[in-house]
Amino acid sequence: AVAMPAIAQSAPEVKWRCTSSFPKSLDTIYGAAELMSKTVAEATDGKFQIQVFAAGEIVPGLQALDATQNKTVEMCHSASYYYVGKDPTFGLGTAIPFSLNTRQTNAWFLYGNGLTLLNDFYKKYGVSMLPGGNTGGQMGGWFRKEIKTVADLQGLKMRIAGMGGQVMAKLGVVPQQLAGGDIYPALEKGTIDAAEWVGPYDDERLGLYKVAQYYYYPGWWEGCAALNFFFNLEELEKLPKSYRAALTAACARANESMLASYDAKNPIAIQSLVKSGTQLRRYPNDVLDAAYKAAHSLYDEISAKNPEFKKIWEDVKVFRNNGYLWWQIVEFTYDDYMVRARARG
Amino acid sequence: AVAMPAIAQSAPEVKWRCTSSFPKSLDTIYGAAELMSKTVAEATDGKFQIQVFAAGEIVPGLQALDATQNKTVEMCHSASYYYVGKDPTFGLGTAIPFSLNTRQTNAWFLYGNGLTLLNDFYKKYGVSMLPGGNTGGQMGGWFRKEIKTVADLQGLKMRIAGMGGQVMAKLGVVPQQLAGGDIYPALEKGTIDAAEWVGPYDDERLGLYKVAQYYYYPGWWEGCAALNFFFNLEELEKLPKSYRAALTAACARANESMLASYDAKNPIAIQSLVKSGTQLRRYPNDVLDAAYKAAHSLYDEISAKNPEFKKIWEDVKVFRNNGYLWWQIVEFTYDDYMVRARARG
C-alpha cells in the first residue's frame, strides 16, 4: 500500500503534440513519427500520449521548429536543414554536400561530438534534438536533358533546396524552391528543367519519371539525410524521468526503422523505375569535382563569418576523413566485391 | 483513487536475468546489453530490472541460448551463428559468408521477411529474437605470412569459427576453435598461423598486431555480424504489454548504439594499428572468387538436406541481390567518390 501513491505520482497522464514537417503521403518518413508515438504510448501504458500531426494540420511543414520553440507544440519531426535560412549551422544536423554517409552520421551523433555540439547550438532556439530517421543516400535528381559536363548545367532551373542549391548555383544552376506536390506539374510544363526529391521509393510515387527521363546519382548534396526530433527544452525538463527514457528509446527505434524501411523499399522501386523507361546516369566526374570544390569554398565562406558553423563543421570534417579512411577498407571493398559478384550472376 | 490499483497492477516488479555470450572486455558488444538493461529500467521507473551477466558468470558464453531455452535465464545476448552446430539455419541470424551488409541486414530483419522467418525457426528452441547490435563489416584476420593465392592457404591453421571456417576448409585451411583470450598465445607460439577476431577496435585490444603482421580485408565471411537478443517465449508472454514495449524499444536502441560505437571507434583503431606496424592487405581476387564459389556450394549442400535453411537462405539471396543492385547506384558511388576525395586531400 505504501508503494501505490509513489507509482501513481510517477505515472501522470501527459499529452503532447508532435507536428511533422511531412505529409502523410511520405509514409516512410511520416511513419517514423507514428512509430515513435506508438512506442511511447505502449511503453507508458497509455499514460504518455504523443499525437502526431501532418504538415499543415497545426502549422506549415517548414514552421515545425518555430512551433516547437514557441510551445505551440511540445515537439516536432523535421529536418534541421530546413532552417538554414536562420543559420547555416542547421544544415549540419541533417546533411550538407559531400559530408558523412548514413552510418557515419549516426556514429557522429551518438559516439562522436555530434549531438553534444548540435544541442549546444539548438539551445539558442529553446530546443534539443534526437536523431529521427535517415533516408540513406539520396539520388541526384531528375533531368529532362543529359548532363555531360558542368557547362550543361548553365542556366538550368532546378528544384533543389538548401545548401545543395547554393552549391548548384555556383555551378550555374538557378535553384528553385517548390513543395513536393508542385514538382510534377512544373517539370511537365517545362517551367523547371530538373528536380531532386528523395530517392526511388518516394520519387516514383510523385510520378517524376513520366516527365523527366534522366535520373542522376549520387545525390552528392545528401550522402544521407538525417531527420530530427526536436523537443521544447522546458517541456522536456517537465517529463518524469521514465517518460523521458521511453521517449529516448522510442526515438532510437524510429531512427533505425526509417532507414531499414528505405533500404527495403528503394531496391524494389529503382527496378520498377527502370522498367518504366527511366535512364540512370552517374554524374560526370567534372560535375562532381566542381561541386566538391564549390561546396568546400562555401563552407570556408560561411566559416569566416560564423564561428558556430566553423566549430561544428571542423569536427564533422575530422570525423568524415577518419571515417572514410576506415570505410574504404572493409565496407567499401566488401560492397565492391558483392556488387561485382551480383553482376556476374 | 480509482486509478491507483490499476496502475499498481500494471506495474509489477519484474526481475530478469540476461546472460551475455561475451566478456566485459568486449565493451562495445557487452555495453549494448547494458544499455538495453538501463533503458528498460529507466523507462519502467525501476519496476522491470534486467541484470546482465558476462559469459561464464551463470553459464559459459556458448550456452547462452540453451540457458534461455531451459529458463535458467529469461533472455540472453548472443550471436545466432554460435549455434550452427545445432542447425546451420542459426547462421542466418548473424552472418554467413558473402551475404547482406549491415544496413541490408537490418532492413531484412525489420522490413523484409527476416524476423518473421527466423522467429518461426527459433520457435522450435522456445525462444524469439530481436536484433541486438551489429559490428559492421569485419576484417579478414591476421596472418603471419602474406597470402598471394589460394595455394598459400593450404594447410594453414587458422582460428576461425562457424561457416567462415567451413568455407576456409574448402580452400585448404585447417580451422581452429579458440576463445578470444587464447588467440594471442597461440599465434605467438606459432601453434596457429592466422586468426580472425572482429575488427580494429577489438583486435587491437587483444594485441594481435604484436604477433602477426598482415591484416587482411574484407572479412568476406562477415560482411556484417548481427548480434541478437533471445527471449524465452513463455517468459516473454508473461510480461505486461508496457514492459514488452519498453524492452522492444530498448533493444532497438542497443541495436543502433552498438553499430554507431564501432563506427566511431574503428576509424581511430585502424590508424593506431598501422602506426604500430600492421600491414594492411586486401584478399587477392582469386581467394575471394574461390571462397565465393565454395560458400555458395556449401549453401547448396546444406539446402539439399535442410528445407528450413533453404527457405530462409533463398529469401536472403533475393534480398541481397535486389539490395546490391540498388546499393551500387547511390551508396557505392557516393562512398567511392568520398574515398577518392579524401585520398586527394
- ipTM of this complex prediction, to 2 decimal places: 0.96
Phi, psi (deg, nearest 5) at residue B52: -95, 135
Q: How far apart are CA B190 and CA A190, in angstroms?
A: 71
pLDDT grade, residue A23 (50/70/90)? Answer: very high
CA distance B250 to chain A (A): 6
pLDDT grade, residue A184 (50/70/90)? Answer: very high
Q: Does B268 touch chain A (CB under 8 A)?
A: yes
Model confidence at A4: pLDDT above 60: no
Phi, psi (deg, nearest 5) at residue B212: -155, 135
Q: How far apart are CA A111 and CA A323, in angstroms?
A: 12
Q: What is the radius of gyration, based on Cα positions, of chain B? A: 21
Residue A246 confidence (pLDDT): 98
| Cell matching residue A171 | 555551378
Q: Does A294 touch chain B (CB under 8 A)?
A: no
Q: How far apart are CA B77 and CA B82, in angstroms?
A: 12
Q: Does A318 touch chain B (CB under 8 A)?
A: no
Residue A9 confidence (pLDDT): 52
Question: Residue A327 and residue B335: Cβ atoms within 8 Å?
Answer: yes
Which residue positions in chain B have pLDDT lower than 50? Answer: 1-8
| Cell matching residue B311 | 527457405
CA distance B60 to chain A (A): 30
Q: Does B28 touch chain A (CB under 8 A)?
A: no
| Cell matching residue B285 | 581476387
Question: Residue B110 and residue A199: Cβ atoms within 8 Å?
Answer: no
Q: How far apart are CA B337 and CA A218, in angstroms?
A: 9
Amino acid letter for position B111: Y
Q: How far apart are CA B13 and CA B9, in angstroms?
A: 10
Q: Percent of chain A beyond pLDDT 70?
A: 97
* Residue of chain B minimizing CA distance to A9: B4
Model confidence at A270: pLDDT above 50: yes
Residue A8 confidence (pLDDT): 47
Helix intervals (H) in B190-329: 200-206, 233-238, 241-275, 285-305, 307-327
Model confidence at A178: pLDDT above 70: yes
CA distance A326 to chain B (A): 5
Q: Report CA B253 to chain centroid distance, whole Å.
A: 16
Edge to edge, what strands does the sheet with B194-195 contain? B174-176, B157-159, B194-195, B142-143, B214-217, B279-282
Residue A74 confidence (pLDDT): 98
Model confidence at A179: pLDDT above 90: no
Question: Which residues on adjacent β-strands are paired with residue A280?
Answer: A215
Model confidence at A5: pLDDT above 80: no
Residue in A103, A241, A320, A330 to test binding to B, most B beta-carbons within 10 Å: A330
Neighboring chain A residues of B220 at a CB cutoff of 8 Å: 334, 337
Question: Residue B110 and residue A219: Cβ atoms within 8 Å?
Answer: no
Q: pLDDT tens, A133-160?
A: 999 999 999 999 999 999 999 999 999 9
Question: Residue A252 and residue B248: Cβ atoms within 8 Å?
Answer: no
pLDDT grade, residue A1 (50/70/90)? Answer: very low
Q: How far apart are CA B48 and CA B14, in angstroms?
A: 5
